[in-house]
Structure 1
Amino acid sequence: MSLEEDIPVTLTEDEDYSAAIRNGRSLIGRLLNPECQNMARMLRTMPKIWKIYERVRGIALSKESFQFIFDLETDIQTVMKYGFWTFDDWGMVMDRWMEFPPTDFLQKASVWIRLHKLPVNYLTLKTIRAVSNPIGHVKDIEFDPTKPHLQEYVRVRVIMDLQQPVRDSKLLNLPNGGSTTVDVEYERVRKKCFHCFRLSHEKQRCPLVKAQKNVGASATEKGKAIAISPVIHRQHNHDLVGSLMPLMAPSVPPGFAPKSIVAPEVFEQMQLYMNCTDPEERRIREFKMKMALQDLSMNSGAQSSYLRLEDSPMISGVQNKNVGRVFDFRTAEAVQENPQTEGAFLNIPTLPERDGDNRVLMSNTTPTGESLQKELTVAKRSRQTEMVEMPFRMIEGSGEYLPPKPGALFSIGHDEHSASGKSDRSKSSKRKGASWKRFKQAPKGVLSAAGIEPPGVTQDEGDSNVKRKAGDDRMASSKMLKQTEGLMVHQKPSTPQ
């Protein structure tokens, strides 16, 4: 008995099989770090963050890919307007559904970056584009030389390759031989690997870190390592002739175009132009090709437009458009990597030992006895407070505001304060009125029977009339206060007759 081949299922062109109409109002997305992101919780939480609730539904397509189907086109535009979104501190990329997506689908995302410390002698649009171009395709620049610029940074929107490192600085070589460092911040981008600077894993799971640890490991263990994509440098090429002309030789097969320099379709047309059997005609075409590449080598904007087919950026004088916040988890990463003691992990300070003369000894030990019990109680209470605040972090926590974790720092890019200037304190913290009340005075006979002397009356019979009169005046004053119903009455002292 032989094993027969399985018969495939064939779908017809019936409209009932096709979901193209429904997918026309949908977004396809991918989690960048699915090991640290919960797919089901993300599909439930994101509609709450977008505040569209019943007008969208999420579908899990695989462990890392998903789909959101919208009822209104305006909701899709609102979500796509902010570009990059995050969940559980890690990013996710979304784009409009395509029936036949390209090979780099969901591999790039629109991100706003901030350039700090640009040299004042070269603060021009061409310099800003040259610094931003290695990060990604420049789409918008918020800098107009003819208008005031009120921020200490320049915002640039780039289409960034998510498989490439996300670096925090860029070295800039100046024409006079010096160099300077331009700091780069990424809005709405949270966690990343602080070893290879990629957005797809933590440092503990970085393939490069594991490769260093498995230097002497067996071939089986090395095969388990996760491969990462090579770094593609989007630098301005000053020698296009030496980079492209050898690839257009007749002996080189097609399909070997460097994507960082030239688009595949452009390189294919260049190869067709150079494909000539007549030696004299080929020599003339080679000369023309070299002259064109030499002109492009001196113009970075022309390389972006003509070779990579990228649109020119939009220049805008409007600042902080769709601004997002900048997060910094480098301090939190350092705390997680170096927990020296259990007390340090619990945020419990270690106490130095002292001798009989109350002198500090040169040793660090964790506190014991009642001191340790008190510190553990404080740590437990802070942990309970953090658990209470956890749902709010989840609901608020995608791409916008997230309260900082212990040890984490982030700089706020834009914060809208109340125009009225009112304080944000809760109503419970307001000052309350007095809690005492004035009770009616008991009858005199009851007080006498109980052995309690009424106010204003003493046992001294010699001064009984004077003291009784003082008590009557006090009771009259209290009655007058009740009749005024909260109004303050100032009485002038009686004049002597």
Structure 2
Amino acid sequence: MSLAMDRALMALSLDEEDTPFEMPDLPGFSSAEENKLSLMGRLLNPDRQKMSTLIIQLPRKWQKEGRVRGIVLSRERFQFIFNSEHDLQDVLDKGVQTHNEWAIVLERWTENPPEDFLQYIPLWVRISNIPVNYYTVEALTTLGDFVGKVDLVAYDPTKPITQEYVRVHVKFNVAHPLRMSKVLTFKGKSATIHFNYENIQKRCFTCHRLNHEKDLCPLEIRKRQEAAELRRSKVVSNPTVRKPVLADDDPLKGVLSEYQVGINPANGRPRIAKEVLEEMRRYLIADTGEDRVIKEYKVKKSVSVAESDPIAQKLVLQLEAPPLVTKELNKGKGLVFDYSKKDAYRSEPEKISSEGKLMAGAITAYHHSARSEPEAPRGLIQDESDGSFSSFCPNYPTGFSSGFCESGSAGIVGKKQYQRKRPPRARRAQRKLSEEERNLLLSENKREGKQEVGSKKRKCLREEEECSTTNKAPCLKAIPSEGLPNAQ
């Protein structure tokens, strides 16, 4: 089987042309009848105009949704088929059409299109700064011909002109640039007329064409290429020559090479400091009784030995101080939090509470922890009611801990605990009544008919008056109603 396939492939010729297929000229194969109510179009800047978006948006823009159907023919060309002649003609009467602010070409379909098909767009041109002696139809037609073929002039010599321009309708070739001005000469004088175009939004501002932007303009590209070529030619013709460190009359010339005394590309610093080079020059010039050859040999030898050791090269040749060494590994890091001592702080309150519940024990434990860890904040607060510790704040944490610490203007500070406002013990002792006074008051209350309820004693009036802190207003006695006052 494979042998037969190989023979068949060898019998084929690569130069053999395929016979073209002739499309049948039958009614079912041709859509010419349907295309009679259609418009053909072309995108002028397909890089900035998306074809799929155009097929959807143009019927909405024309207000013909449901009455026109778009077809994509290629990357640049498209077709719109209308349901009625009126809608088709209404779109043509709108003039130049744009999509994504770039112009498009629209022409009615023809079965045999000419060579310049989809090459012209209708434009309204405003001609301004016209000389006063040339407001005629013939002169305006001649001026409009500089832009395109004029087919309509909007001018009435019998009516006043309220604008500073005259409008002409032209058939513009999209392969040509938009002319912005034209210089005229008449009777030894000159004038510059200006052209403005209606409904033209975007164009190249260098060559004024409608098919590309300024960055992609061939003139701009050629200008950039010429500028780059000029820069390259300058670099080649005038190469940058570095000034040598060792001059011709330098004593070190021939002793050390330019590479040894030049700039080190790794760090951008000289390989040999200027001070060291000056000392070498003085040594070679000085009259020490040694031969010149011996001096040069010593200089070369010392430099080669220093270059072999990076540390010696920095110290001897570059005169750079060696770095300092510290055993403090966290030097310059700021506040370092040690979480390994977290369990020790947690076990401290249990130890204090087991020893005793006195204030002295708490203070002793606090001083002990403060001496062992100077960074620990004041967190031991004791309540006098039961003698137990109400809260304990460990070393300042890096995270948030509710109820212990809070932020302040000077950093993290201990949160103030609420303390009950209570008179001192000495003042409260003075307010207590003696046993005899209490019995006397009780006996008086019994004579007045008052008695004790259960085993609880009523508070004495004196203690109630002195120790009461209520802010309520005293109860006023009600005055009985005695009727209306006597009439005077």
TM-score range (shorter-chain normalised) is 0.3 to 0.5
Who wins on radius of gyration, i.e. which is larger? 2
TM-score, scaled to structure 2: 0.43
TM-score, scaled to structure 1: 0.42
Bigger RCO (CA 8 Å, 6+ sep): 1
